[in-house]
Structure 1
Amino acid sequence: MTKKIIILLITFGLFFSSCEDPFDFGSDGRVTYDEIFSDYQLTGKYLATAYSYFPYYGASSAGGTFLASFTDEAQDAQDVVPGSNSLRYYEGNMSSANNLIKGSLYDNMFKGIRTCNVFLANVDDVPTFTVQEHRGQWKAEAYLLRAYYYLQLIKRYGPVPIFKEVLPLDYDFSTMERPSFYENVQAIIADCDAALAQPELLYRQVDGLQDGFMTRGVAYAIKSQAILFAASPLWNDGNDHWNEAAEITKEAVDALEGAGFGLFNPASVSISGMYSKYQEYFLTQPENVEFPSEEKETILGKTRMTLWSNYGLPVVPDVTKAGISPSQELVDAYETIDGVPVLDPEMPYLDDDHLQPNYNSENTLYDPENPYANRDPRLFSTVYCNGNFHNLSNNTIPVETYVGGSSQISDNSNLYTRTGYYLRKFIHYDSKNNSNKDGFWHDFRMAEIYLNFAEANFYANGAATPEALAAVNLIRSRAGMPDLPSGISASEFEARLRNERRIELAFEEHRYYDLRRWEIQGDYEGVVTGMKITKNGEDFDYDRIVVQKRNVTDEKYLMWPIPLTEQNKYNALGIDFQNYGW
């Protein structure tokens, strides 16, 4: 069985090796659908075209940088460059004519959807498949690509028209109606179920073809995330979908665990000096085998990123800029090692500028004069703080973010941090020119699936059930953190669960959407602060500073604007599809 799967995927990989030029065009420069779908290889290449619309991720996903810079996770150090996307966004200059985060996504996702529709309308007419299993497998992948593309749209723009067939040339677009968000999610789930109905669809891709492929595992991950969004306050239209969300997210956990997925949790770290298994996970290449022994967490992974030169420390040779600067708000969110929040979970600050922290009276380990001691290991696994070392193999190249230090805070240079912190997550300390060892992007991983279930189960039951606690504590245990207490109140569990998502999934494009679907974006994104450190002899003084007040708290920032080019088309048809405020 394993040999057969590998042969299938090697064959399939041939179609994806030339996505730049997928078709051999005729002498007149054209190839017809009849010609494509009468040929096995051309059919595979057409599916490769459907894959080509996959959105950019990580450092390329938003305004040329991480999406984290557009929420309260980080400040983009490029904000010192006049006219930069991030600076214009912070000043409130985003518009339907100029989406400063990702203006091309709306058009690209619909192009991908149309390509999937064409494929699904024709794939059953292909007379002969050289590898018979490919007919069902490819059909399933097209269903999942369409579901994935729709999910990317509705997370950003809210409900969008649902097209599941190839539209005729005389289609009357004036008859279109905007569905509800839940109707969009129902269509996404239906596509996932249609894919799961194809027995040829694998849980994992193997033999080097892990990156970006639709699998049975991805189907469950899409369902889990989509229904969680549908049940959330921003999108539920006053309806209670939490019981359904609890069922679907539990189904995803059970199916994925049954297929061997789980957290990356080896007996010990294998990369010298790692702070945690969590840190090592993001530097570990997915195991392209049917049943991984250790890296069994990734559900949908992408290729190795190159971050060290554009998101690095200025003391490292050949680093060109600091990239993004993690915020003080993010650093404050990491508990002390005993599992106690540093700040009050429900009211972390006493002022609107976040300069007066509301310290948690129950925390006995946190010291404002030594703020990075005794913290959740995920802090140093994610963020460079003053006093850390860059080279963890021998504790060399100290990180000096204090004023006058080698990696000092700056308000006028994109080579230095804006907040007093640098990004460590995904970046290997031994990456350098001609030897990149940076980490991998994970669109879906098991930690998210557990947290999705915990949230849905909690809201469905109105309490922190043993099942919800177990899901969260599984993640905390991997990080070396103690369990949440079993007698935790509903209000405290809600705050701690949201915080767990914040730190576990930091810089993975979750926080931006979480704040919006919970309808609390305006409470968090109006200001970003940092830590200005001054060295006095052997001691340090720590002063919180406002780095940026952002003009992005208006309700309209809960959704992206429909692009002006599309809005004009809708207006010409007498349809108002534009989102509020744009």
Structure 2
Amino acid sequence: MKNAAIVIVTSIMLLTIVSCEDMMGDFLEKAPGVDVTEDTIFSSRSQVEMFLASIYEYGVHSNLGLGSPDNGAPAIANSAGTIDAGATDEAEACANWYDPQKWNNASVSPDNTDDPRFSHRFTAIRKVTVMLDRVDEVPDITKEYANQLKAESKFIRALNYFEMFKRYGGVPIIDHRLQLDENLKIPRSSVEDVVNFIVKDCDEAIPDLPINQLGALRGRATRGAALALKARTLLYAASDLFNTDKPYLDFGTNNKLICYGNKDKERWKLAADAAKKVLDWAKEANCYLITDQGLDGNYKYSWQTYDNSEIIFAEKSSDAMGKYTWPWSAISPPTVYPGNAGQSGVTVTLNLVSKYEDRLGNKVDWNGGNDLQAKMASLDYRFSQTVVGNLMRWNSEFPKLQLWQDSGNGPGADVNTCYGGFWLHKLYPEEISESVWRKVPNSTLYQLNEAYLNYAEALNEYNEGPTQEAYDAINTIRKRSGQPDLPTGLGYLEFRAKVRNERAIELAFDGHRFYDIRRWMIAEEEGVMQGGMLGIKIYQIPESTEYRYEPYVFETRSFSRRMYLHPFGTGEINKGYLIQNPGY
């Protein structure tokens, strides 16, 4: 699946090169292949680059729902089927069999987990340890290139440990090739040790990574990718979920597996400094925010156009996927392309829509009225580049979706599943249509806009109030979409609320909201991951171009405090090396 700009190999070739055990148990119990196979891998540049391609393949995830192998997705894809927004106040995944529903009804459990890539991460980590152990033996590469391959591998190891840290807290650290005479049942490490391990891998990788990757090499790790990963890790580490002496649930002597065990404001300083280094790198690497596509196009261009100047690191696919297959089928409304009816699309909640200001920076009232079209037209330009509302454009084939009650068989007219009254459009390429029906599903994992918001948040938290640098960072993001600067004189909590709202808008549907909610520990607030999810019902007004709308609760969700972290799967717990997270 991955196109890491290395030699593309078939799965049969990869299996010939290296044994690809799926489960962590295999990692711990078996050597990574016979000696002759390893000798072959490290006998030449071409062979070792094929091995590196397999590390990217297993180690770099997609935020898109890629289905499962029997539905045409590669064997190691994210098989959750859809994006995680449907488990938050962003949206509802309309098909009731999607994984987000486990969170909405609080049924997620060790037997019903939501982490299809758990075993793949340890496969990637195992491969990294082999690379680090033997890459210096390759005869036809320079020392500098060997160091780059080590750095790329360390970045991928750090990426996978971060993905586990944000889900589980502390996890087992495997930093070398295990021998059969070692203790092969590695226990969980503390949150602090895992964070330090991620940061160490990033720090060691940064000097040997290229400042940028261009052309066919896009998709391989850069200095900016490692800096961005370090910054995000430290932001999470400084946040309430982990930066505390009292975890979300008492875990007795194991508290440090799920939090630091102390609260330290200096962690916010580390996060701010790390975010600033991303911004400094961006200037050197010619990485910049999109500002030349117009206020009504900048934001859409930044998420829709692959390899644009704002993207720091992306999962790069090589296979074009059709509109009737994942991930596109999980996003598009069922009546736009009827073959997708089983997936039912992603409907955006009023909970999210109400976070959009108008273009003067004012909060918008959504209590009901006869002015729906005018209200939507007044919103922040990012709204129409993220969401499709009534009579708004999907693409050239469907220039006006009909979302009112009793709208017949028109495009988008299946209001029975459009619970929110709005459809998600972000992530779905404009060009997919009846004539162009396949598109490679790249997934942006790190983008420059996040670095500005990370910097603003960390500065405010560390200083217990916004500095000018914090204002400048958040206003830079707002300005490129035409929003006015934030008012000056905001207090600590007022600025925090603005930053959090800005993240909800700017980073919507990019895989951030679920984890932001948990690290801020706001899931239990009404309408976040608990309580009423709001939508609107839309009605025609006779002889008028306007439409009446009425807000309503389409779903009431449940949240248990145990859900601030994921459960480990029963199969992993039964292997005897893990302590389950509390409450499961």
Q: TM-score, normalised by structure 1?
A: 0.82
- The alignment yields a C-alpha RMSD, in angstroms, of 2.8
Shift of 1:229: 0.5
Amino acid in structure 1 at the alignment position of 2:379: R
Query: Is the aligned partner of 1:91 residue 2:101?
Result: no
**Secondary structure at 2:13 match in 1:** coil
Amino acid in structure 2 at the alignment position of 1:425: K
Quick one: distance in 1 between partners of 2:400 and 2:541? 17
Quick one: distance in 1 between partners of 2:282 and 2:196? 21
**Secondary structure at 2:95 match in 1:** helix
**Counterpart mapping for 1:47-196 below 5 A:** 47-53=52-58, 54-60=60-66, 61=78, 63-79=80-96, 83-99=97-113, 101-102=114-115, 104-126=116-138, 128-130=139-141, 133-173=144-184, 176-196=186-206
**Counterpart mapping for 1:168-567 below 5 A:** 168-173=179-184, 176-198=186-208, 201-211=209-219, 213-236=220-243, 237=260, 238-240=262-264, 241-266=267-292, 268-269=293-294, 275-286=296-307, 295-303=308-316, 309-314=329-334, 316-317=336-337, 320-321=340-341, 322-342=344-364, 370-391=374-395, 397-405=399-407, 406=410, 407-408=412-413, 410-411=415-416, 416-436=417-437, 440-523=442-525, 524-526=528-530, 527-537=532-542, 538=544, 539-551=546-558, 553-567=559-573
**Secondary structure at 2:5 match in 1:** helix
Kindly, what percent of the aligned residue pairs are identical? 31
Amino acid in structure 2 at the alignment position of 1:44: E
Give the 3 Å change call, closer, same or farther, for CA 24–391 of structure 1 in structure 2.
closer
Q: Which residue of 2 aligns with 1:363?
A: none
Quick one: distance in 1 between partners of 2:16 and 2:84? 38
Shift of 1:409: 5.5
Quick one: distance in 1 between partners of 2:112 and 2:429? 35
Give the 3 Å change call, closer, same or farther, for CA 186–85 of structure 1 in structure 2.
closer
Amino acid in structure 2 at the alignment position of 1:566: E
Give the 3 Å change call, closer, same or farther, for CA 369–218 of structure 1 in structure 2.
closer
Q: How many residues align?
A: 518
Give the 3 Å change call, closer, same or farther, for CA 477–437 of structure 1 in structure 2.
farther
Greater alpha carbon shift after TM alignment, 145-154 vs 188-197: 188-197
| 1:486-507 alpha-carbon deviations (Å, 9 max, x no partner) | 2222221110100000010000
| 1:110-138 alpha-carbon deviations (Å, 9 max, x no partner) | 12111101110111233x12466431221
| 1:472-525 alpha-carbon deviations (Å, 9 max, x no partner) | 010101111111122222221110100000010000000000000011112111
CA contact (8 A) 1:224 1:249 kept: yes
| 1:429-458 alpha-carbon deviations (Å, 9 max, x no partner) | 442145148675210000001111111111
CA contact (8 A) 2:349 2:422 kept: yes
Shift of 1:56: 3.2
Shift of 1:105: 2.0
Quick one: distance in 2 between partners of 1:338 and 1:20? 58
Greater alpha carbon shift after TM alignment, 511-520 vs 131-140: 131-140
Give the 3 Å change call, closer, same or farther, for CA 308–579 of structure 1 in structure 2.
closer
CA contact (8 A) 1:19 1:45 kept: no
CA contact (8 A) 1:326 1:419 kept: yes
Quick one: distance in 1 between partners of 2:328 and 2:124? 32
Amino acid in structure 2 at the alignment position of 1:278: Y
Quick one: distance in 2 between partners of 1:369 and 1:562? 46
Greater alpha carbon shift after TM alignment, 111-120 vs 224-233: 111-120
Amino acid in structure 2 at the alignment position of 1:390: W
Quick one: distance in 1 between partners of 2:443 and 2:102? 27
CA contact (8 A) 1:313 1:319 kept: no
Quick one: distance in 2 between partners of 1:506 and 1:540? 26
Structure 1: give runs of 5+ residues left out of the alignment. 1-9, 287-294, 344-355, 360-365
**Secondary structure at 2:7 match in 1:** helix
Give the 3 Å change call, closer, same or farther, for CA 222–84 of structure 1 in structure 2.
closer
Give the 3 Å change call, closer, same or farther, for CA 221–88 of structure 1 in structure 2.
closer
Quick one: distance in 2 between partners of 1:37 and 1:217? 28
CA contact (8 A) 2:17 2:51 kept: no
Q: TM-score, normalised by structure 2?
A: 0.82
